């Protein structure tokens, strides 16, 4: 990996385009010093790992595998603790076990983790009790605390983002390769879970079946290495272009540019302008990338994104992350899938059933209904089933903790419960029980869709 700035000129062409959702850094000199510091740091991921993920996503595009992508809406620096990271990973591993076993499909596991620190916002400001301040834009930009001082963008937060991502990824790598994620631990991941919860009980039964299958294979003399470690990839929205560009390096093997802050980065719904800075930057990196597509996306837009971001039509390069809303997905998605398929493109289609289903509860909390989330995934499966295309995965906002942020689920959370444990710094996440419930329901849908 080369860190030389002049050699990375292609990673800087975005500067000539309008960039939405970027912080107004008040001190340009401080920004330059912080960015220079980031440029001097080693990459967080290796280009070869990004290529491996691209291969996995090509399998998804061909209909041979399913993506589970999940984690916080907004990671926080305070949340970089062993417990929080372990709980998130455990939840994703449990969901993956359910999907792999009950859905009988290989699952590509991608965390919204180790870099999900920058947030696009609907409004630039936030008003409370008559006081208006700049909106919180994620821990990599400003503080969540509602004071004028905390809301000033500070570029050194991007340096802390790097270190927080590095510490998180280090622990994730230790867990996924060091024995914790060994499939033989399938029961252990459930040990601290509410044993009485419906999803906990259901998982316990599935874990016993997996355990029996592993015991059977071992008795037959088969004990594959693949069950001992887990392939796990990191991802975040590539929003803050100063950060993403500073972590963009030339791969010494191929001379290509890679974003080395995560294996997979995506373009958000609010920054997907065809002539904007985000499209320009993403067109220059070789990672597998995603783009969120909301209800205003036309079939021609989808084709234009493909031509711009995946001109070589390399399967696995571009993933469409559909986030339409439960009420509209059945109307809007078919035309996109039809057009892309008719043009001969092979992309991975995955469903984000969270961002089109957010609303304000009577208490003022941002929330989502579990049933709407489920219904959007159902709509996604229905559309793909009707068109004979592959429902390639789900993209979720979730946490491993017992928060009360989304309403509904097997362990019913009501509007009145939201204040009990609402901890998200941005959007409402499924808690562990809701996430597991969803995994079981999606596995059923997958099985009946194939
Ligand atoms: O996570 C996504 C966006 O940042 C979020 O949905 C925007 O939320 P807002 O409408 O509260 O700004
Ligand atoms: C900002 C997000 O989503 P979207 O761009 O789809 O609104 C997100 O994934 O947190
Ligand atoms: Mn979000």
The number of helix segments (H) and strand segments (E) in the chain equals 11, 14
Q: CA 92 to CA 73: how far, in whole Å?
A: 15
Closest CA to 112 of 165, 62, 163: 165
Closest CA to 400 of 22, 87, 67: 87
Binding-site residues, ligand 1, Cβ < 6 A: 73, 119-122, 355, 426-427
Dist. CA 183 → ligand 2 center (Å): 32
Domains of the chain with CATH codes: 6-117+155-181+229-449 (3.20.20.70)
Residue closest via CA to ligand 2's atom 7 equals 269
Residue closest via CA to ligand 2's atom 9 equals 73
393 three-class SS? strand
Residue closest via CA to ligand 2's atom 8 equals 73
367-410 pLDDT, tens digit each: 999 999 999 999 999 999 999 999 999 999 999 999 999 999 88
Please identify, by atom number, the ligand 2 atom nearest to the C-alpha of residue 427.
Answer: 10
Backbone angles phi, psi at 393, to 5 degrees: 160, 180
ipTM of the predicted assembly exceeds 0.95: yes
Q: Is the CB of 351 under 6 A from ligand 2?
A: no
* Per-residue model confidence (pLDDT) at position 450: 59
The pLDDT tens digits along the chain (450 residues) read 544 444 579 999 999 999 999 999 999 999 999 999 999 999 999 999 999 999 999 999 999 999 999 999 999 999 999 999 999 999 999 999 999 999 899 999 999 999 999 999 999 999 999 999 999 999 999 999 999 999 999 999 999 999 999 999 999 999 999 999 999 999 989 888 766 678 888 899 999 999 999 999 999 999 888 899 999 999 999 999 999 999 999 999 999 999 999 999 999 999 999 999 999 999 999 999 999 999 999 999 999 999 999 999 999 999 999 999 999 999 999 999 999 999 999 999 999 999 999 999 999 999 999 999 999 999 999 999 999 999 999 999 999 999 999 999 888 899 999 999 999 999 999 999 999 999 999 999 998 865
Q: CA 100 to CA 67: how far, in whole Å?
A: 11
Residues 6+ positions from 134 with CB-CB distance below 8 Å: 124, 125, 126, 142, 151, 152, 153
């Amino acid at each position: 990996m080369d860190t030389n700035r002049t050699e990375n000129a292609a990673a800087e062409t975005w500067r000539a385009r309008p960039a939405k959702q970027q912080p107004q850094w008040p001190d340009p000199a401080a920004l330059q010093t912080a960015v220079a510091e980031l440029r001097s740091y080693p990459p967080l991921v290796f280009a070869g790992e990004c290529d491996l993920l691209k291969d996995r996503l090509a399998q998804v595009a061909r209909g041979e595998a399913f993506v589970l992508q999940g984690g916080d809406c907004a990671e926080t620096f305070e949340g970089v603790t062993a417990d929080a990271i372990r709980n998130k990973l455990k939840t994703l591993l449990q969901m993956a076990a359910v999907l792999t076993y009950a859905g009988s499909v290989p699952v590509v596991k991608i965390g919204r983790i180790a870099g999900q620190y920058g947030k696009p916002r609907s409004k630039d400001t936030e008003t409370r009790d008559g006081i208006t301040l700049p909106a919180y834009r994620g821990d990599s930009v400003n503080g969540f605390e509602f004071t004028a001082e905390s809301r000033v963008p500070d570029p050194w937060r991007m340096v802390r983002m790097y270190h927080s991502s590095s510490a998180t990824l280090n622990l994730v790598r230790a867990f996924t390769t060091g024995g914790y994620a060994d499939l033989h631990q399938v029961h252990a991941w459930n040990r601290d879970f509410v044993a009485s919860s419906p999803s906990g009980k259901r998982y316990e039964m599935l874990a016993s079946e997996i355990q029996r299958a592993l015991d059977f294979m071992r008795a037959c003399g088969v004990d594959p290495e693949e069950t001992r470690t887990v392939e796990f990839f990191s991802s975040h929205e590539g929003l803050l272009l100063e950060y993403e560009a500073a972590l963009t390096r030339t791969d010494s093997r191929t001379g290509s540019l890679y974003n080395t802050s995560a294996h997979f980065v995506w373009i958000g719904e609010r920054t997907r302008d065809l002539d904007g800075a985000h499209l320009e930057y993403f067109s220059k990196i070789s990672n597998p990338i995603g783009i969120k597509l909301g209800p205003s996306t036309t079939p021609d837009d989808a084709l234009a994104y493909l031509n711009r971001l995946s001109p070589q039509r390399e399967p696995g390069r571009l993933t469409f992350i559909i986030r339409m809303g439960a009420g509209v997905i059945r109307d809007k998605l078919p035309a996109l899938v039809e057009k892309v398929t008719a043009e001969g493109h092979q992309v991975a289609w995955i469903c984000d059933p969270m961002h089109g289903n957010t609303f304000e509860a009577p208490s003022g909390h941002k929330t989502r209904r579990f049933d709407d989330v489920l219904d959007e995934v159902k709509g996604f499966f229905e559309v793909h089933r009707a068109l004979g295309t592959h429902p390639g995965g789900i993209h979720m906002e979730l946490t491993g903790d017992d928060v009360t942020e989304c309403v509904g689920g097997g362990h019913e959370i009501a509007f009145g419960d939201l204040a009990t444990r609402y901890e998200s710094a941005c959007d409402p996440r499924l808690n562990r029980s809701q996430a597991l419930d969803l995994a079981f329901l999606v596995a059923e849908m997958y099985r009946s869709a194939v």
